[in-house]
Amino acid sequence: MQNSKTQDTLVGLFVACGIAALFYMALQISNLGTYTGSESYTVTAHFQNSGGLKVKSPVMLAGVRIGRVASITLDKDTLESVVEMHIDSKFNNLPDDSGASIYTAGLLGEKYISIDPGPGLSGTFLKDKSKIDNVSSAIILEEMIGKFFLNKTESK
């Protein structure tokens, strides 16, 4: 039988390793570590079609993530999809004539919103509850293929 102090130490080490592994999973493997917990402001954009976009999809500017999609709803009057996104407060100098488009990461990858900074002619910036007017919708692969074949048959 081992002396009880060594045993206590080993048990303590084991429990500490186990808890460290839990923290490691929480912070390194899951999305918990990517929440910065910082302030954000909400911006909306109306898309004709937001196909494939999901809540928590990233919002990128020049390839850097600046926020996440908060909600996707349907506007009953215009029948457009209203995408609400939270943008990190430290990016508070985006010109309010910026555009938003839905792109795909890779051919079959996930959809994300890309913000294209505008020329900033009015000199004002996007702030809480502002709306992005200059939008382009998601590219639906099936539609494109359909159009492509239609053009082919017409040109014959």
Partner 1 sequence: MLEFFENLGKITLGSFAKVGRGVFFLLHTLGGTGSVLSRPNLLIKQLYSVGVLSFLIISISGLFVGMVLGLQGFYILSDFGAAESLGVMVAASLVRELGPVVSAILFAGRAGSALTAEIGLMKATEQLSGMEMMAVDPIMRIITPRFLAGFICTPLLAALFSSIGVIGGHMVGVGMLGVDDGAFWSQMQATIDFQKDIVNGVIKSVVFGFVVSWISLFEGYDCIPTSEGVSRATTRTVVNSAFSILGLDFILTALMFGDT
Asked if 28 touches partner 1 (CB under 8 A), the answer is yes
DSSP annotation string for 50-78: -TT--TT-EEEETTEEEEEEEEEEEETTT
Asked if 54 touches partner 1 (CB under 8 A), the answer is no
113's enclosing H/E stretch is strand 111-116
**Euclidean distance between the first and final Cα of the chain, in Å?**
90
Among the listed ranges 24-32, 75-83, 118-126, 139-147, the one in contact with partner 1 (CB under 8 A) is 24-32
Q: How far is the CB of 35 from partner 1 (least distance, A)?
A: 9
Asked if 103 touches partner 1 (CB under 8 A), the answer is no
Asked if 93 touches partner 1 (CB under 8 A), the answer is no
Q: Please give the Cα distance from 67 to 128 (Å, whole number).
A: 13
- Which residue in 3, 17, 101, 113 binds partner 1 (CB under 8 A)? 17
Asked if 150 touches partner 1 (CB under 8 A), the answer is no
